[in-house]
Structure 1
């Protein structure tokens, strides 16, 4: 389980970096909510899911060639109660998060349409339930935008409290607890752990006892999640150390086998190869781009055309990442 979590977390992190690098100054939720309209009027008058799906069916059928979710099953469920209303549980939020994973690969509007098309395929949902689920999706995205806009401070506990208050204000206490209760409890325990670890007034024995008491409050799933996160951070740190030391593939593989096992070592080596390939392509682009800007004989229109051609070898998410790196002056030299 831990091996899979380490590799899966690395892959997801790579995806998110690629997806959002073009808007590093703006949190992903802000990007989503800025462009996904709230369609309450449609919900009241007709089935917005069917309408949206009908408008976008050709595009949805011909999904983006680079789709990070291709071949995966939708995470979570949309359930209805005895009255046919959508159950507002954690499973529903997982469905929302699943579709929002494509941010950066697809426009926020397209993601909403993908969700609408998926709702059309759920036999347990009638038109009213589909409309309700879509309205809840819009509400969730609006909340995430508001959360991203909250001011940040050096007081993590105060930041968490502001976030909790926003969720209760926007969703009500019951829905906020259903969607975010578990992770808020985990965040509070994590903060308690940080505070204990940083408390200079505690001697080593007292600190260890305090940390053990906090850990005892975690349920097995939370404890496993924390251990997996720690393992992922260690894998990232190890890889950075290998890069800094210009470690050979043999040394990397040997140390990874000792720490993570054979399967993880193989998969992490694959990630190394992917990263090396990306860096080579990025370096080639940077060199060609530099040559174009150095050519004073090119008219601006010619230069723009050739720059566009250089990007044709990259997928759409990669183009956004490349352009962001160029804008920030962080292309390799």
Structure 2
């Protein structure tokens, strides 16, 4: 199922080091429901995610007490009655899959379903959320799958509540990375192992793979990219070769496909900046992009280039006429009226919202220019 209020995912350990250490490389992974540039690529996680981190913190602050089926049914029938404000008007994210024997098939979508309802923590009492989830599961799922899903939800909640203890032991890795300029990968790896050990206390192997497998694959990739980048014994060429070798050895999967697309995006950004700095023609840019990301994306990027060039041209015209008005000593109120009219003539509603930020960016470029 799709969702327009899906919990966002973000790094809890490596992202600061990535910003500091990797100035030219992009190592964030992409999720299928996000877009980047004009490529419609998926968006990123590095070591853990916000759904896991923020929910665990919220749950640790109180005790979510499992309800009985009778108690759940006294509060809800479908689990969708009286939704909290943050969930109203949204589509339920996640899935409940069963096999031909009505046994539960655990998927990553089941975890997304749990996270969808748990995202209302703070708006609803913990026991209410537990009752809501149990009612939803039992209303939409036959036995024995329903009871299996409810049991896993209870374990998932307990797991999330245990996570903060691990985070406390390792402290703020982002702050440590910021101070040293490099990430302590041994600490990150040990923390990751401790989280893996914690998961084994609550879930069987198949559930761990379904719930966390994809994220772990991205984590391992991101850690390895940082490890390669922090290797002072390797040249840039050797580092690039090591990155490509690591990706080539990954098993074929959606994770590998997304990582390869992201690697192409990183190279695309770098090569685009280099070619534009050399004054490359639109045709040359198109050919390079087509090679990296395919013709449809290359065509969209070419369209973006045209739109950016048009905006730049109109912005230059706008700045020139605005400065002329301000230099003529016209009454300030009258000058502002004319400037507003000029903005409406040259830009649409969305573009006018960009003007202040774009002007500041252009000024920053002038100040920082050698």
Please tell me the TM-score bracket, short chain as reference: 0.5 to 0.7
Partner of 1:145: 161
Tell me how large the CA RMSD over aligned residues is.
Answer: 4.5
Partner of 1:86: 104
- How far does the alpha carbon of each residue in 1:231-268 deviate from its partner, in whole angstroms, 9 at most, with x for none? xxxxxxxxxxxxxxxxxxxxxxx99x649x9xxxx999
Q: Cα gap change, 1:52/1:170 in structure 2, threshold over 3 Å: closer, same or farther?
A: same
- Is 1:176 paired with 2:193? no
Partner of 2:230: 198
Q: Cα gap change, 1:224/1:205 in structure 2, threshold over 3 Å: closer, same or farther?
A: closer
- 1:32–1:145 Cα contact (<8 Å) kept: yes
Unaligned runs of 5+ in 2: 1-30, 44-48, 174-183, 267-303, 312-347, 355-370
- How far does the alpha carbon of each residue in 1:60-119 deviate from its partner, in whole angstroms, 9 at most, with x for none? 63333x32x333322221122333222222222221122222233333323223222322
Alignment partners' CA distance in 1, 2:63 and 2:230: 41
- Is 1:118 paired with 2:150? no
Name which one, 1 or 2, has greater alpha-carbon Rg: 2
User: Alignment partner for residue 5 of structure 1, among 24, 35, 55?
Assistant: 35
**Larger relative contact order, structure 1 or 2 (CA cutoff 8 Å, min sep 6):** 1
Q: 1-10 or 204-213: which moved more?
A: 1-10
- 2:79–2:136 Cα contact (<8 Å) kept: no
Q: Cα gap change, 1:165/1:104 in structure 2, threshold over 3 Å: closer, same or farther?
A: same
User: Alignment partner for residue 63 of structure 1, among 70, 75, 83?
Assistant: 83
Alignment partners' CA distance in 2, 1:270 and 1:105: 36
Alignment partners' CA distance in 2, 1:2 and 1:88: 20
Alignment partners' CA distance in 2, 1:119 and 1:270: 47
Q: What pairs with 1:1-333 in structure 2 (closer than 5 Å)?
A: 4-5=34-35, 27-32=54-59, 34-38=62-66, 42=68, 48=69, 51-56=71-76, 61-64=81-84, 66-67=85-86, 69-122=87-140, 124-126=141-143, 128-150=144-166, 151-152=169-170, 154=184, 155-216=187-248, 217=250, 219-224=256-261, 258=308
Alignment partners' CA distance in 1, 2:33 and 2:96: 30
- 1:79–1:87 Cα contact (<8 Å) kept: yes
- How far does the alpha carbon of each residue in 1:105-151 deviate from its partner, in whole angstroms, 9 at most, with x for none? 333323223222322441x424x433332221111111122223212
Unaligned runs of 5+ in 1: 11-15, 20-25, 43-47, 230-253, 273-333
- 2:114–2:153 Cα contact (<8 Å) kept: yes
Q: Report the Cα offset of residue 269 of structure 1.
A: 8.2
Q: Report the Cα offset of residue 194 of structure 1.
A: 0.7
Q: Cα gap change, 1:104/1:91 in structure 2, threshold over 3 Å: closer, same or farther?
A: same
Alignment partners' CA distance in 1, 2:203 and 2:229: 34
Partner of 1:291: none
Alignment partners' CA distance in 2, 1:268 and 1:163: 44
Q: Cα gap change, 1:132/1:2 in structure 2, threshold over 3 Å: closer, same or farther?
A: closer
Structure 2 length-normalised TM: 0.49
Alignment partners' CA distance in 2, 1:228 and 1:103: 36
Q: Report the Cα offset of residue 222 of structure 1.
A: 4.3
Instruction: Tell me the number of residue pairs that the alignment of Structure 1 and Structure 2 aligns.
Output: 222
Alignment partners' CA distance in 1, 2:136 and 2:220: 35
Alignment partners' CA distance in 2, 1:268 and 1:129: 49
- 2:79–2:132 Cα contact (<8 Å) kept: no
Q: 164-173 or 196-205: which moved more?
A: 164-173
Q: Report the Cα offset of residue 205 of structure 1.
A: 0.9
- 2:57–2:164 Cα contact (<8 Å) kept: yes
